């Protein structure tokens, strides 16, 4: 999404915020080198459908279904922020030990079709839907954080259209909803830069909306993710905030670090209301992603990728490391604590989703280079995949060297799965030498051994965000 479309979507265009040219031209925070237009951050030019894919190693025959991952891919080749391109999905269909196809498809929205824009009221259809995917209530959806989700056909990744839960979704939907694995209930939120700043939603396993609850916040926080336990939901009210100054004078997204803002978690019973939210002040930080969360006695535990700071100068400012950290909120005493867990810099935390909302032992993430994780320096840094045992503190890492760049690790359960880590980790891995990507499958119990199967793609899958694995056994 272009900044102009974002401002128009939020209604800020109608309020007179500069949408392009003049005032935006005064910006002094635009980076000289746009890292998102270099290396594997660059968009690909074409949508392709590939069959007869070469496989190195063996795809476990028990894995049948669709892996699909979302990300930005500007159709013009240029976007005003790393997060600002059009949504593009990259999918691989697995069937009985073979890779039936790979295809990449844009999420077909008015923004992609260049029909968005103009001044006026917020239009939740005008989104890029570029951040993640969800399978719930028998529907595959592309999610973009701003705007409505878009329904996607899992057979060919074509876009069916926007979806608003029979009119019950008031506006934005987060790209990080959670499903309770026992009940199938979907818990999520939407945030906005104007009041209500946050709205909580709960839908049953079929997708029928059960609760719509505006939540009182301290101000317009950027809220990328949230936490869910068996009893509670946890909202983040942190220090990256909507900024009028950035909206008028800056480039990129109109959000920025605000030292004067509070930093806190709001804990609410899952079926509670705004009046039930208990707020816990925590040390200054920002969190994009939560690995998992659960109840432990009187405590609510949240494990997350914690940044000391983010976007201090502007929304282009990614020069910070996140570390896996455990927050504990005591519901009896009202006290909160935080400790850094094992492992070095990281992002894209994930778990076996059967453990969502519950006590767990194993997490996974992208391992970020210890010395140098500034994105524009990614060409000289080493990344990998990391498995965490959050009980013992043990780490198992796959560090493939400078040439290979893996994305978000996705846990694929083994069909005979009983143990939490009995299954596979899958992700796209980019090879800088060949400038092509592979869909790689690892045994989750032996991540450091490297992939057991590599589906070679003769194309590049750009750096992206979040995916979903939809096994045939759950596909409607
Ligand atoms: Fe995310």
Which tens digit of pLDDT belongs to each residue from 110-137?
999 988 764 444 688 989 999 999 999 9
CA of residue 97 to ligand 1 center, whole Å: 30
Tell me the per-residue pLDDT of 71-110, one tens digit each, with 9 for 90 and over: 999 999 888 888 889 999 999 999 999 999 999 999 999 9
Residue 226 CA to residue 176 CA, distance in Å, equals 7
In a domain, 114, yes or no: yes
Q: How confident is the model at residue 318 (pLDDT cuts 50, 70, 90)?
A: confident
pLDDT at 473 over 50: yes
Q: How confident is the model at residue 2 (pLDDT cuts 50, 70, 90)?
A: low
pLDDT at 20 over 50: no
CA of residue 333 to ligand 1 center, whole Å: 31
Which pLDDT belongs to residue 219? 95
CA of residue 366 to ligand 1 center, whole Å: 13
CA of residue 112 to ligand 1 center, whole Å: 21
CATH of the domain at 34: 2.130.10.10
Tokens of residue 229, six digits: 């336990």
Residue 467 CA to residue 399 CA, distance in Å, equals 21
Asked if 289 contacts 270 with a C-beta cutoff of 8 angstroms, the reply is no
CA of residue 365 to ligand 1 center, whole Å: 12
Helix (H, G, I), strand (E, B) or coil at 66: strand
Residue 83 CA to residue 74 CA, distance in Å, equals 10
CA of residue 313 to ligand 1 center, whole Å: 21
Which pLDDT belongs to residue 87? 96
CA of residue 305 to ligand 1 center, whole Å: 11
Which pLDDT belongs to residue 1? 55
In a domain, 433, yes or no: yes
CA of residue 118 to ligand 1 center, whole Å: 28
Q: How much of the chain exceeds pLDDT 90, in percent? A: 76
Place of tokens 């949504």: 87
Mean pLDDT across 328-347: 96
Helix (H, G, I), strand (E, B) or coil at 3: helix
Asked if 202 contacts 136 with a C-beta cutoff of 8 angstroms, the reply is no
CA of residue 96 to ligand 1 center, whole Å: 31
Which DSSP string corresponds to 265-286? EEEEETT--GGG-EEEE--S-E
In a domain, 357, yes or no: yes
In a domain, 476, yes or no: no
Q: How confident is the model at residue 21 (pLDDT cuts 50, 70, 90)?
A: very low
- How many domains does the chain fold into? 1
CA of residue 131 to ligand 1 center, whole Å: 7
Mean pLDDT across 236-258: 88
Residue 286 CA to residue 275 CA, distance in Å, equals 25
pLDDT at 235 over 80: yes
Provide the terminal-to-terminal Cα distance of the chain, rounded to the nearest Å. 31
CA of residue 145 to ligand 1 center, whole Å: 9
HEC-encoded secondary structure of 178-240: EECCCCCCEEEEEECCCCCCEEEEEECCCCCEEEEEEECCCCCECCCCCEECCCEEEEEECCE
Sign of CA dihedral 436, 442, 448, 454: negative
Greater confidence (23 vs 254) lies with 254
Strand arrangement, sheet containing 227-228: 227-228, 232-237, 264-269, 278-281
pLDDT at 168 over 60: yes
Q: How confident is the model at residue 35 (pLDDT cuts 50, 70, 90)?
A: confident
- Cα angle value 302/221/27 (rounded, 5°): 130
In a domain, 318, yes or no: yes
pTM summary value: 0.94
CA of residue 348 to ligand 1 center, whole Å: 7
Question: How long a stretch of residues is the chain?
Answer: 476
CA of residue 398 to ligand 1 center, whole Å: 22
- Residues 6+ positions from 21 with CB-CB distance below 8 Å: none
Q: How confident is the model at residue 60 (pLDDT cuts 50, 70, 90)?
A: very high
CA of residue 149 to ligand 1 center, whole Å: 15
Range of the domain at 17: 3-471
Which pLDDT belongs to residue 381? 62
Which pLDDT belongs to residue 78? 84
Which pLDDT belongs to residue 275? 98
CA of residue 57 to ligand 1 center, whole Å: 31
Is residue 416 classed exposed, middle or buried when 0-12, 13-18 and 19+ CB atoms within 10 A define those classes?
A: exposed
Residue 450 CA to residue 397 CA, distance in Å, equals 9
CA of residue 26 to ligand 1 center, whole Å: 30
Instruction: Tell me the sheet residues that pair with 202.
Output: 187, 211
pLDDT at 216 over 90: yes
CA of residue 332 to ligand 1 center, whole Å: 31
Beta strands in 352-422 (DSSP E): 362-367, 384-389, 395-398, 404-406, 410-413
Q: How confident is the model at residue 241 (pLDDT cuts 50, 70, 90)?
A: very high
In a domain, 228, yes or no: yes
């Amino acid at each position: 999404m272009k900044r102009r479309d974002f401002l128009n979507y939020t209604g800020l265009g109608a309020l007179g915020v500069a949408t392009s040219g003049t005032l935006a031209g005064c910006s002094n925070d635009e980076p000289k080198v746009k890292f998102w237009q270099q290396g594997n951050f660059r968009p690909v030019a074409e949508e392709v459908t590939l069959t007869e894919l070469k496989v190195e190693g063996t795809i476990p025959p028990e894995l049948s279904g669709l892996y699909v991952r979302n990300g930005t891919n500007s159709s013009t080749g240029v976007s005003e922020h790393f997060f600002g391109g059009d949504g593009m999905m990259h999918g691989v269909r697995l069937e009985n030990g073979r890779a039936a196809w790979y295809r990449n498809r844009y999420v077909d929205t008015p923004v992609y079709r260049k029909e968005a824009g103009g001044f006026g009221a917020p239009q939740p259809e005008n989104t890029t839907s570029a951040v993640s995917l969800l399978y719930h209530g028998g529907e595959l959806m592309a999610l973009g954080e701003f705007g409505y989700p878009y329904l996607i056909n899992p057979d060919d990744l074509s876009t069916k259209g926007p979806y608003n839960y029979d009119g019950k979704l008031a506006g934005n939907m987060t790209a990080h909803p959670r499903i309770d694995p026992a009940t199938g209930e979907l818990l999520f939120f939407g945030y906005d830069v104007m009041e209500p700043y946050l709205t909580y939603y709960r839908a049953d396993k079929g997708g029928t909306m059960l609760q719509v609850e505006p939540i009182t916040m301290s101000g317009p926080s950027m809220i990328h993710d949230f936490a869910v336990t068996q009893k509670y939901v946890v909202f983040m009210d942190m220090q990256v905030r909507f900024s009028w100054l950035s909206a008028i004078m800056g480039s990129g997204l109109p959000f920025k670090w605000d030292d004067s803002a509070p930093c806190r978690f709001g804990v609410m019973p899952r079926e509670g209301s705004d009046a039930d939210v208990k707020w816990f002040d925590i040390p200054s930080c920002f969190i994009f992603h939560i690995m998992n969360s659960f109840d432990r006695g009187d405590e609510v535990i949240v494990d997350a990728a914690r940044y000391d700071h983010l976007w201090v100068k502007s929304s282009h400012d990614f020069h910070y490391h996140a570390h896996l950290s455990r927050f504990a909120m005591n519901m009896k005493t009202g006290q909160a604590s935080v400790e850094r867990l094992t492992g070095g810099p990281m992002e894209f935390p994930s778990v076996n989703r059967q453990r969502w909302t519950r006590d767990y032992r194993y997490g996974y993430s992208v391992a970020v280079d210890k010395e140098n994780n500034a994105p524009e320096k990614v060409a000289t840094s080493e990344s990998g995949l990391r498995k965490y045992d959050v009980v013992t503190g043990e780490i198992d890492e796959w560090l493939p060297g400078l040439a290979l760049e893996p994305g978000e690790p996705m846990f694929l359960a083994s069909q005979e799965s009983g143990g939490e880590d009995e299954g596979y980790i899958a992700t796209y891995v980019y090879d800088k030498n060949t400038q092509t990507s592979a869909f790689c499958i690892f045994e989750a119990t032996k991540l450091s051994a490297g992939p057991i199967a590599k589906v070679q793609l003769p194309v590049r899958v750009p750096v992206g965000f979040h995916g979903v694995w939809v096994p045939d056994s759950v596909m409607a």
